[in-house]
């Protein structure tokens, strides 16, 4: 045997052994990771905070079909505040855009992903909010992720409400500004933090307009007063206000009379404005121009699909033409809140279509939601980490599409379920 053949005869088994050893280590690592993941999942189940996904087999609306349930189910869980996600004109606009502009752009905006539809929607949204310009994102989560690191640097300061949405918190983490967190809706603590930030180049106060878990409205008048006193700008996230709060549905800033004092607004197309997907920033034109140049979620995400843009554009046009839909919300919201309070339930927030039925215990919230579904009402239990521990609730959301009879049926189901579980007598 030649020396080369002898060497190869020795090396080949060695390589095989090394390969087997590498595979063994790989399988061992995967098995260990799987065990860790399964333990974590079991911990979630044991705590009663498992979030199961129910399967809807119909379009979104006040009545839906749910897999495993018989008959039509009343839906009191969607963020479809104005009922526009299945509005005939909104749906038709999406169909028309699909036919004329295709299913998608296969590209980001600055390469070859901007259509006339996108520019039209941005113009409509800027008009709706009475701001200079607008930029679209794939979601409001992306809008929040893309704003702060562009606007703020290490010489600046951001002052954030402690209960701001997770997307705001994540977006702020990406920027290099000094971060100060003030107590929830506490103007005294905000002033203290503003005083601490006086040495910063720019100061930005950041708050949800409406806090989605409790339905409470930020004290924007007081925030704007302090911002002006201490030379700060004001940012609000309006996902749970755009389209229905305020006399014309413009949002929290209109409701509280500070539209000309709030500088930057982020909001969503995925709730009141058609319910599909997409988010946006409206504000000063120089800011919007800079976001188009540097905002990473905008630069590196595909353009919004034409059907989504078409549907959202029609939703905004309907609201620009009339405030009738927005104005119908107040009476329906108060009907539910008053009847539930009279029945003995504790409802958080005030005068907002988000109506959290406070229960405290995560397992109780989940069980009651399951029992409500059996009675023909779709609601979901919210628990940690979506809300703080000990603050579990069923978050009911009223829609302009709900009738008084729908609301009364929902209240009756709550009373029956609440008595079964000892929540009310």
Catalytic residues: 212, 240, 271
- Could you give the CA distance from residue 60 to residue 5 in angstroms, rounded to a whole number? 71
Beta strands in 142-295 (DSSP E): 157-161, 178-182, 203-208, 210-211, 216-217, 233-237, 264-268, 279-283
Radius of gyration of the chain (CA): 26
- Token digits of residue 98: 């699909």
51 — alpha (psi -120 to 50), left (phi > 0) or beta?
A: beta
- Could you give the CA distance from residue 75 to residue 377 in angstroms, rounded to a whole number? 6
Would you say how long the chain is, in residues?
425
SS3 at position 180: strand
Parallel, antiparallel or unpaired: strands 264-268 and 392-397: unpaired
b/e for 177-215, b at 16 or more Cβ within 10 A?
A: bbbbbbeebeeebbbebbeebeebebbbbbbbbbbbbbb
- Could you give the CA distance from residue 336 to residue 347 in angstroms, rounded to a whole number? 10
Question: Cβ atoms within 10 A of the Cβ of 221, count?
Answer: 14
- Inter-helix orientation angle 404-420/362-374, to 10°: 130
Beta strands in 289-416 (DSSP E): 354-360, 377-378, 381-382, 392-397
Taking alpha carbons only, the member of 266, 278, 353, 267 closest to residue 311 is 278
Sign of CA dihedral 417, 41, 169, 251: negative
What is the separation, in whole angstroms, between the first and last Cα of the chain? Answer: 94
Residue 54 DSSP one-character state: P
| Cα dist from 159 to 180, 184, 200, 229, 365, whole Å | 5, 12, 12, 15, 33
200: Cβ contacts below 8 Å, ≥ 6 apart: 155, 156, 157, 177, 178
């Amino acid at each position: 045997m030649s020396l080369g053949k002898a060497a190869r005869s020795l090396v080949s088994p060695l390589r095989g052994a090394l390969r087997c050893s590498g595979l063994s280590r790989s399988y061992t690592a995967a098995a260990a990771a799987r065990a860790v993941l399964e333990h974590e999942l079991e911990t979630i189940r044991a705590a009663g905070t498992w979030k199961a996904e129910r399967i809807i087999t119909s379009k979104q609306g006040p009545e839906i079909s749910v897999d495993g349930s018989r008959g039509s189910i009343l839906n009191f869980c969607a963020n479809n505040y104005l009922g526009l996600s299945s509005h005939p004109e909104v749906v038709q606009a999406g169909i028309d855009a699909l036919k004329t502009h295709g299913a998608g752009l296969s590209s980001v905006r600055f390469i070859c992903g901007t259509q006339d539809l996108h520019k039209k929607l941005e113009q409509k949204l800027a008009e709706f909010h009475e701001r200079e310009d607008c930029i679209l994102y794939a979601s409001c989560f992306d809008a929040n992720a893309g704003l702060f690191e562009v606007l703020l640097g290490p010489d600046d300061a951001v002052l954030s409400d402690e209960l701001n949405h997770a997307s705001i918190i994540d977006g702020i983490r990406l920027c290099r500004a000094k971060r100060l967190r003030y107590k929830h809706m506490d103007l005294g603590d905000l002033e203290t933090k503003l005083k601490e930030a006086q040495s910063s180049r720019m100061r930005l106060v950041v708050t949800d307009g409406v806090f989605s878990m409790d339905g409470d409205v930020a004290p924007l008048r007081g925030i704007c007063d302090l911002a002006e006193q201490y030379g700060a700008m004001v940012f609000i996230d309006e996902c749970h206000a755009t389209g229905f709060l305020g006399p014309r549905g413009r949002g929290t800033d209109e409701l509280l009379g500070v539209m000309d004092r709030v500088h930057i607004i982020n909001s969503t197309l995925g709730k009141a404005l058609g319910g599909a997907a997409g988010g946006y920033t409206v504000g000063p034109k120089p800011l919007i121009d800079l976001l188009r140049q540097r905002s990473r979620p905008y630069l590196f995400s595909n353009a919004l699909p034409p059907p989504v843009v078409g549907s959202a554009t029609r939703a905004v046009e309907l609201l620009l033409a009339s405030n009738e839909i927005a104005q119908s919300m107040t009476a329906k919201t108060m009907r539910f809140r008053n009847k539930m309070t009279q029945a003995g339930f504790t409802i958080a927030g005030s005068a907002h279509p988000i109506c959290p039925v406070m229960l405290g215990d995560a397992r109780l919230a989940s069980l009651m939601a399951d029992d409500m579904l059996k009675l023909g009402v779709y609601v979901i239990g919210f628990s940690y980490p979506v809300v703080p521990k000990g603050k579990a609730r069923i978050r009911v959301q009223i829609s302009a599409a709900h009738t008084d009879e729908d609301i009364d049926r929902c209240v009756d189901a709550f009373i029956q379920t609440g008595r079964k579980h000892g929540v009310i007598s």
